Amino acid sequence: RLDLEFHLWLEGEELKGLCAYNRDLFEADTIKRMLSHYQNLLTAILANPEQPISQLPMMSTSEQQQVLVEWNQSTIAYPSNQCIHQLFEAQAEKTPDAVAVIFENQRVTYSELNIRANQLAHYLRQQGVGPDVLVGICVERSLEMVMGLLGILKAGGAYVPLDPNYPQQRLTQVLEDADVQVLLTDFHSQSCLPQTENLLIPLDQNWWKSATDDEAQTHFVNHLTSSNLAYVLYTSGSTGKPKGVAIEHRSAVALLYWARTVFNEDQIAGVLASTSICFDLSVFELFVPLSWGGKVILAENALHLPTLPAANQVRLINTVPSAARALISSDGIPSSVETVNLAGEPLDNKLVQQLYNQTTIQAVYNLYGPSEDTTYSTFALMEKGSSQSPLIGKPIVNSQAYILDNLGQPVPIGVPGELHLGGDGLARCYLNRPELTQEKFIPNPFSQKPAARLYRTGDLARYLPDGNIDFLGRIDYQVKIRGFRIEIGEIEATLNQNSAVKETVVMAREDTPDNKQLVAYIVPKLDAQTLKKPELYELQVSNWENIFDQQIDTEANNLSDPLFNIQGWLNSYDYKPFPETQMRVWANDIVSQVLAHHPQSVWEIGCGTGMLLFQLAPHTQSYYGTDISNASLEHIKQQMYQRPEQYTHVTLAQKRAEDMAGVADDSFDVILLSSIVQYFPSIDYLLEVIENSIRVVKPGGMIFLGDVRSYPLMRAFHTSVQRFRATLSLDIQQLQQRIERSIQQETELLVDPEFFVALKDRYTEITHVQVRLQRGSETNELMKYRYSVLLHIESQSPSNILPVIVNGVAMDAQAIAQYLQQQQPDAVCFKGLLNRRVATDVICVERLSVIKDKLNVQQLEQTLSDSLQETIDPEQLNQLSAGLGYHLELCWSADPRDGCFDAVFVRPEMAAEAILLTPLTQKSIAAGNWHRYGNNPLADQQAKQVIPQLKEYLEQRLPEYMVPNAWIVLSQFPLTPNGKVDRRALPAPDFANHLSTDFVAPRTPTEQALAEIWADVLHLDEVGIHDNFFELGGHSLLATQLISRLRQSLGQEISLAALFDSPTIAQLDQVLAQIPQTGGLSESEPDEPLPMIVPTPDQRYQPFPLTKIQQAYWLGRNSAFELGNISR
């Protein structure tokens, strides 16, 4: 049975039904309500058959009466014509000698505070301040701050708070938007303000106190009414500019009178005021106690509470859950605290019960409300000992809450909808933003009051049967972090103004419990100058040289065949070596293609330790081998020295790939670049190498590029790898994030086959191009995701072969064989064949882009097995062509579906006399915008440059709390099928996944030195002794930097292999203890003896995955460099 079943059947002219439900999941009243709604809907359909179903009511009249009227009967009488400061003045007359405010060791009575505020009000009036005049206040927390707020209100003005810690650009935006002419400040804050012509009044100086004693004792009389503005708070705005919420006195007074009905004199006798006056919680913290005879206890921050001199006088804390959580963990809540108000963030029951565990706390309230409704709109007293998730309760007095659908109609109990707020607390408007005001503040159709309005909160909520409201989250991308309301759009808009940014997405993530943080995802705008930064090229290439030189053992004692050295060729899936038989198939394919052109002179660029050289050179008259690694060349020399008669025509030189200066034009029949293109730093670099190669190739010769990685299949490849590594229980969202992270961390160059076809448009010397799939029956990554390219230079072939095109999408090998046997064509191309090698990976990419359900990897694999179509193994066709007497050309398809291929069968005698063109290679592709044909291998290095720049850029423009904690640079955003950013697939920040669960700080001077070096190289704040260097984002290039830093700081030399074998600080410290020290740490600071570290299964180091650079450039290396579980 299902958890909920609804059965309907016809009996005569009656429709009867039965509902079966799981009583563990559903209450009887819920089921009755659902059935009632269905019955109401059917009745409405019969009564109004032409009406759209979305406009038909599901609720009965009595239910509508309940949610619209009964649950919003919150009206009480209060003097709505009063202003905030008038409540304070009345209290000052009642209790003039009572302490009003305490700050550190200073205190001021109601009478003293009232006199100072009156003096300031008189001076402000002389400067033109009156009703609805906006006055800025930018001061540090102090007694003067409270006096300044009251003085502005008494003068008739409205205060506009500015935080001195905000960037100057943010302060400028607020001052200009509010048109502030008068600005209250103090000595320290004044230096933080931008250049301004505003009148500055320093509250910590006395020259403005010109009022007489009599004037100071009397309240200022003006024409202010409760409909005038009291303050304007600027909140985050989605357009990139902050928006000012304009609050009138009567709205604030409504809040203050509600507080009087809920909190008694004892509770407000000492209220902690720790929230910045730029945020609406401060309105409660300051004016509730000052209006009703309580005491304000100022603090810089809620976390300073335990250190306050007046901490034991605090009775009520009004703060955000994250601050309360931190106070609990530090045992920082004094025993004097009886009441805790929590607002600004979603509240969890665990925190509530932790607060109640402190026996002196008698009441914990969950309060909800936006600035647009004057701080608080709903509230609920949390129940001690409850296991239920906290609710936001019911409306405060003189407020209403409605939950409506997208047509503005009330939703039934239990159904989610957008929360709308009404009542006396609503703001007047968004300052100077009439269109936004009209959009967010709409007419209230449920009120009898003229001009009544509702505020659309953008929050998702639902009614519970008892009238309480359950908060479900945001509808849009506004978030709250540590109580700060943040419009994600403002951060994105600000970032998009930076010329280095192409696209940006900002999200609030909580990848670890109780640690919500902002994460910025950036796609940088990479122009030609950015991609050609010489310092990045130099860093990348020089690091390669260091790596290759470290890993070569010129003795090669442990190699079974020194002429075919495959040491270091490990697959990306489980890091195990490719079997030698597979490697020989791969190498033979390249060798046979080169020798098919009978070259007499060959230049192999990136010859490594000679795996191809030793097979090709005996068939040539001259062979030139170059490599960046001198150690690799020394290995070749040693092998040649042992066989002098075979290799006298071979010349070796240490060169970079682009270095062809001094080589004469038309010198070689073939330029060979195999397993080297992927280590070029950019497409531009590849273009440079090809252009130089064209010059030195003879007419009729060719440039052969082997083992090129496919850019269109980049996502399929990383999806395949991550699927292989994932456990069956891993959920799909985590899998998607791993895929995105691995794509971003790709350090090799992947190239679209169309790039090579487009070269014909740029270089007329290239007469035709051949793109070929790798030969082989094994489905390893070399066969699946690599290909070869032949660029024919000034070829004199007399004609082109244009085969007949046959759509091969639904064909298998048998159907192709039948076609060939029956039709006997001279040349035919089967187009768009489904490639068995990559079909499952490609389908998986498609599935992941559309899956919305919560699945795990096991369930995903089942959907893939159910989706398999008829596919063809390319190697089958090679066997078929040989049996039927055809020459076969296998090429990536021009069809847009990734992974498809074309098979061209042609008679051997025709193939020998003409150029064979496939649908891809006969395409006409205009040259230009070369970067679209490949990824950016320097993305990680460029990210390390761009992230600090963008962070500084934001810090100059936005408050600190709006600057993301984590930054991730991506080459492109993952997209949903309809082209929108797939936010679920965006990867979590790396450091959240790779730092050790149990952080252990350094214990000895050496461990401390190592931790500091690691943190600096990896750009982390701290590193524990059991954190894995490579899991923290380290790779081979960073490893060389680390080794250099160890040499400089500790005076000790370690090999790259030692670092791979001992990738944690604790392990490396033991290694260093065995190595003589030549400098660095003083010998007067010896390490304490270390205890023996006994690995546990979850800590024991596993074989480290090689980077792609290592996998290819360690071609032919010997046993001196050993990793993980490679046999020694």
Q: How confident is the model at residue 553 (pLDDT cuts 50, 70, 90)?
A: low
3-state SS class at 698:
strand
Is residue 389 within 8 A of residue 349, CB to CB? The reply is yes
With 50 as the cut, is the pLDDT of residue 1086 above it? no
Q: Confidence band (pLDDT; 50, 70, 90) for 1124?
A: very low
pLDDT tens across 421-447, in order? 999 999 999 999 999 999 999 999 999
- CATH assignment, 993-1113: 1.10.1200.10
* Least reliable range by pLDDT among 68-77, 142-151, 541-550, 922-931: 541-550
Q: What is the mean pLDDT of residues 549-568?
A: 67
The CA-CA-CA angle for residues 607, 610, 612, to 5°, reads 85
Mean pLDDT of all residues in 169-193: 91
Mean pLDDT of 457-477: 89
How far is Cα 429 from Cα 442, in angstroms, rounded to an integer? 11
Residue 213's contacts (CB-CB under 8 Å, 6 or more residues apart) are none
> pLDDT value at position 493?
78
In CATH terms, the fold of domain 498-528+938-952+959-987 is: GMP Synthetase; Chain A, domain 3 (3.30.300)
pLDDT of residue 1119: 34
pLDDT in tens, 645-692: 889 999 999 999 999 988 999 999 999 999 999 989 889 999 999 999
Say what the pLDDT of residue 1036 is. Answer: 55
Residue 533 pLDDT class (50, 70, 90 cuts): low
State the average pLDDT for the chain: 85
Is 1035 a residue whose pLDDT tops 80?
A: no
- Residue 1031: pLDDT over 90: no
Cα distances from 752 to residues 372, 484, 896, 1107, in angstroms, run: 53, 46, 12, 21
For residue 994, pLDDT beyond 70: no
User: Is 107-224 CATH 3.40.50.10890?
Assistant: no
Pairing mode, strands 441-443 and 182-185: unpaired
pLDDT computed for residue 207 by the predictor: 64
**What contacts 24+ positions apart, CB below 8 Å, involve 79-82?**
79/253, 80/226, 80/250, 80/253, 80/254, 80/424, 81/225, 81/226, 81/250, 82/226, 82/249, 82/250, 82/253
Could you read off the pLDDT of 91-120 as tens digits, one per residue? 999 999 999 999 999 999 999 999 999 999
- Is residue 1125 pLDDT above 50, yes or no? no
Which whole number is the average pLDDT over 319-343?
Answer: 89
Asked whether this chain's domains 107-224 and 562-711+750-788+925-937 adopt the same fold, the reply is yes
Which pTM does this prediction carry? 0.60
Q: Are 883 and 846 in contact (CB under 8 A)?
A: no
Q: Which tens digit of pLDDT belongs to each residue from 919-967?
A: 998 888 877 778 889 988 887 777 777 888 899 999 888 888 888 988 8
Task: Say whether pLDDT at 182 is over 50.
Answer: yes
Q: What is the pLDDT, as a whole number, of residue 209? A: 67
- Supply the pLDDT for residue 526: 66
Q: What is the pLDDT of residue 945?
A: 79
Query: Tell me, what's the pLDDT at 1115?
Result: 35
Q: Is 1021 exposed, middle or buried (CB count within 10 Å of its CB: 0-12, 13-18, 19+)?
A: exposed
> What pLDDT, on a 0 to 100 scale, did the predictor assign at position 747?
83
* Four-way CATH pick for 562-711+750-788+925-937: 3.40.50.150, 2.40.50.1070, 3.90.1720.10, 3.30.70.1430: 3.40.50.150
DSSP 8-state secondary structure symbol assigned to residue 179: T
pLDDT of residue 309: 94
Residue 205 pLDDT > 80, yes or no? yes
Closest CA to 907 of 1035, 1018, 1052, 801: 801
Phi, psi of 355 (to 5 degrees): -65, -45
Q: How far apart are CA 709 and CA 704, in angstroms?
A: 14
| pLDDT tens, residue by residue, 739-776 | 988 888 888 899 999 999 999 999 999 999 999 999 98
Residue 1100: the pLDDT is: 42
| Average pLDDT, integer, range 897-916 | 86
Candidate ranges 20-34, 238-252, 274-288; pick with highest mean pLDDT: 274-288
- Measured CA to CA, the distance from residue 547 to residue 566 in angstroms comes to 17
What pLDDT does residue 212 have? 61
Q: What pLDDT was estimated at residue 557?
A: 53
| CA gap 300, 293 in Å, rounded | 23
Which tokens go with 749?
A: 């160059």
**DSSP strands (E only) in 588-679:** 601-605, 622-627, 650-654, 668-674
Top-confidence residue, 1019 or 661:
661
The pLDDT confidence band at residue 1061, using thresholds 50, 70 and 90, is: confident
Residue 1103 has pLDDT above 50, yes or no: no
**pLDDT band (50, 70, 90) for residue 241:** confident
- Look at the alpha carbons of 758, 759, 764, 766 in this order and tell me if their dihedral is positive or negative: negative
The end-to-end CA distance of the chain, in Å, is 59
Residue 850 identity: V
Angle between helices 84-94 and 281-291 (to 10 degrees): 30
* φ and ψ at residue 404, rounded to 5 degrees: -125, 155
pLDDT of residue 1040: 65
- Banded model confidence at residue 550, pLDDT cuts 50, 70, 90: low
Q: Which of 998, 1060, 993, 992 is nearest to 1030 (CA)?
A: 1060
Q: 16 Cβ partners below 8 Å, 6+ apart?
A: 8, 9, 10
Q: Which range, of 479-488, 704-713, 752-761, 762-771, averages the lowest pLDDT?
A: 479-488
Tokens of 626: 């170059």
Residue 210's pLDDT is what? 63
Q: What residues does each domain of the chain span?
A: 4-58, 107-224, 498-528+938-952+959-987, 562-711+750-788+925-937, 993-1113
